[in-house]
A = this chain, B = another copy of it.
């Protein structure tokens, strides 16, 4: 046994949410071990270094570390250039501090890009060459893989799926536009639309189902799964909005596979079926027929896996 060279491993860490998700990932993208903790933004480099040390105990041959961050990463410099959720000091020094603390090469990646690459390597994107990834949760993001590589776009912002206009007369979005997909299909906006309908229709079955005023998008999906017609209608309409934007992707890119992840997709078939139906109705048929539309499969592993694989690629090409 002692003569066997251990495989090369990588660590990927998702710091884009309230919790930090870390994974030890094999060269081929299989998750070997996991760690999860509440994110400590004030002492983030130390927290990450500690988790890296723990995971290295599990597998000594760790070659590189990848981080999925909630912001734009300059692909040239690897620096976080725009982030709403990380303190500025952490943004500026994160890469060099971690390199010092862990003595590993560090790759930073936007969280949606990392999730896309994770699904591409080890999840629902496996076997495709061209893939569009969508994440639908509190916000809506996307990422594009062309010929096996992430397409960053001219300034690193490609894949802004959530800000495609769905309704030219729609409500204002945080981005300044009106009627973006995000204004109707993100988790908070599913809740908003449902509240608005409840005001119109006070006998709603959601009330009958005993949901209190602070229900979430997940509660609506749950009620829909339990067979509530009104909740089902809200999920189905959400799927149709998403399908309309998916059709634009299909028409423009004639892409082989579209992978849908994020919390809203936890509704499963109830939302995936109307997405596919509406995408089929609204896209050019020869493009639609070439596209597989599937649910993401990696869940919380997607970002750590993709970040680890991007760190692998960066370490391999150096």
Residues of B within 8 A of A151 (CB): 146, 253
Please tell me if A45 contacts chain B, counting CB pairs below 8 Å: no
- Chain A positions 70 through 101: 1 when the CB is less than 8 Å from some CB of chain B, otherwise 0: 00100000000010000000000000000000
CB distance from A145 to the nearest CB of B (A): 12
Please tell me if A281 contacts chain B, counting CB pairs below 8 Å: yes
- Chain A positions 260 through 289: 1 when the CB is less than 8 Å from some CB of chain B, otherwise 0: 000000000000000000000111111101
Task: List 7 A-B pairs, minimum CB-CB distance, nearest first.
Answer: A153-B254, A160-B251, A158-B254, A155-B290, A157-B254, A154-B256, A160-B284
Please tell me if A148 contacts chain B, counting CB pairs below 8 Å: no
A-B contact sample (17 more), CB < 8 A, given A159-B254, A163-B251: A130-B153, A144-B253, A151-B253, A153-B290, A154-B254, A155-B254, A155-B286, A157-B290, A160-B252, A160-B284, A161-B252, A163-B284, A164-B247, A165-B247, A165-B248, A168-B244, A252-B252
- Chain A positions 225 through 258: 1 when the CB is less than 8 Å from some CB of chain B, otherwise 0: 0000000000000000000100111011111100
Q: Count A interface residues, CB 8 Å.
A: 46
20 A-B pairs in the complex with CB atoms less than 8 angstroms apart: A72-B286, A82-B286, A130-B153, A142-B252, A146-B146, A146-B151, A151-B253, A154-B256, A155-B254, A155-B289, A158-B254, A158-B287, A160-B251, A160-B284, A163-B251, A164-B252, A165-B248, A175-B284, A176-B285, A177-B281
